[in-house]
């Protein structure tokens, strides 16, 4: 539940924004249509527009926190040394860990990726290995 919380916060921000925009539009329309006597049109429009702006601005905060957390996780993965996987390879056991492209935890392949960015060596899952046209290292 608490793994990769940054992605979940970013999704929450998008849902929050969508519900806020739809709710603001609905509130403006309902206040004009349902209320007896009806509110003046410019007040209903102001309520709808104000609610939309408030929903968008408040969702930015959630999204920013989620984005910062996601980037910190990636930075932490690069700065903290990873354990030596050579013992696994010597015993013919599959290399297990997190794919450096998609982030999925599974069996990994040491891959050589040659593209417009140059030659890179990554530990990738089988799906990313075939999708990126890698060579075994």
Domain map of the chain by residue range? 5-79, 86-136
Instruction: List Cβ neighbours of 83 (8 Å cut-off, separation of 6 or more).
Output: none
pLDDT band at 94 (very low <50, low <70, confident <90, very high): low
Instruction: Kindly report the pTM of this predicted structure.
Output: 0.54
Assess contact for 136 and 89: CB atoms under 8 A: no
pLDDT for residue 125 is more than 90: no
């Amino acid at each position: 539940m608490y793994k990769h919380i940054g992605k979940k916060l970013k999704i929450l921000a998008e849902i929050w924004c969508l519900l806020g925009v739809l709710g603001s539009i609905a509130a403006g329309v309902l206040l004009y249509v349902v209320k007896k006597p009806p509110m003046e049109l410019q007040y209903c429009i102001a309520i709808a527009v104000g609610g939309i702006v408030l929903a968008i601005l408040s969702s930015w905060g959630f999204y920013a926190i989620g984005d910062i957390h996601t980037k910190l996780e990636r930075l932490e993965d690069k700065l903290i040394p990873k354990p030596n996987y050579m013992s696994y390879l010597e015993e013919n056991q599959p290399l297990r860990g997190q794919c450096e492209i998609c982030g999925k935890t599974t069996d990994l392949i040491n891959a050589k990726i040659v593209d417009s960015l140059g030659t890179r060596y990554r530990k990738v899952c089988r799906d990313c290995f075939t999708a990126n046209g890698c060579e075994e290292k």
